[in-house]
Structure 1
Amino acid sequence: MKTFKIGRTSVSVFIGDITTWTGDIIVNAANSGLLGGKGVDGAIHSAGGPEIMEQCMEIRKQQGGCPPGNAVITGAGNLPAQHIIHTVGPIWEGGGRREEHTLAECYRNSLLLAIEVGARSIAFPNISTGIYGYPKAPACDVALKAVTKLLEEDLPDNRLERIDFICFSPENEELYAHWLEQFIQEKEAQI
């Protein structure tokens, strides 16, 4: 595990199973229908039990799903977290359909929702890099820029102490750790 400080928030990167993570909020890489699916979405719904789907169905009744870039929150069912934030990443179509903006909004809106509910810890998967096909290195860049930008805003209600990026593969872990190391070095060089 690699851990870095951004302001007062610790940002960690490691390989793991997001369904076993203990903390306040797990972020789910959901689909816009909030109907469960494959990859991390399927794993979260399977491990969390039917309560999560029931709450997703209530959200569907109220607002008809969750558009790409947006985020909604449910309980965590049987998972060791308190809540799940479901966000819908972009499907990669070559980069010309505002995929970067949409992916950045996933991270920003998830963090803003976590701050709104007073979370102190949150865990992210590598959103859109699985079946949605977003290339891993650009997705890492977008994710970490969005997170660090929000942390630098110094929002008054932000109580986040810990942000964990839980990677599925060694390749993603290496990308995220390398990016964070460079970010920290650049910040230190500015001081």
Structure 2
Amino acid sequence: MNKQTLIKALDDVAGIDHQVADALALVGYPEPRTAPGGFPALLSIVVNQQISKEAARAILGRLENLMPGTTAEAFLAQPDEALQAAGLSRPKIRYGKGIAEAVASGTVPIEDFPGMPDDEIIAALTGLKGIGLWSAEIYCMFSLGRPDLFPGEDIALQEAMKRLKGLDARPAPKLARELALGWSPWRSAMSVFLWHYYRGAPA
């Protein structure tokens, strides 16, 4: 989603939700978010789990030096010792190789994702160890540009929704998703906006 589309989407939502209109006036428009796709994106999801962004960036840099392009086939060809030396833990090596095998074999048809519906992609990705619902939805939103997803498990989104809607407490994932239905077909744009609002709005 480019900047122009993001602005249009948020303006459309603001036209039907006065709280969004007020929030836009307060913090302005966010920058769009995009990400590359394919196996490197899935590996990055696994690498980033439970460590700082700085540490993950360093590990991904070492992996890129080890195997430029970081294809599924190249990852499978690496001995575990080399991947450990790059900074991957044993569980993350196991997850990475499982994902690489699924991509290389076509069990997870990542090349076909652009033509597949969201629910089928999410089902394929969450069938992989190391990829949960949040990660699958983020992949669809930013690597595939899908416009109408809302990762309700995200705590920052829950907190931003609490502030935006004047709720007494952060909504649970199910309630957050239900509240976001009113923003369809632009829930992905609203997710980007709420992350922006979370950082810029008064608590």
Q: Same fold (TM over 0.5)?
A: no
Q: Which has the higher helix share?
A: 2
Pick the structure with more strand per residue. Answer: 1
Bigger relative contact order (CA 8 A; separation at least 6): 1
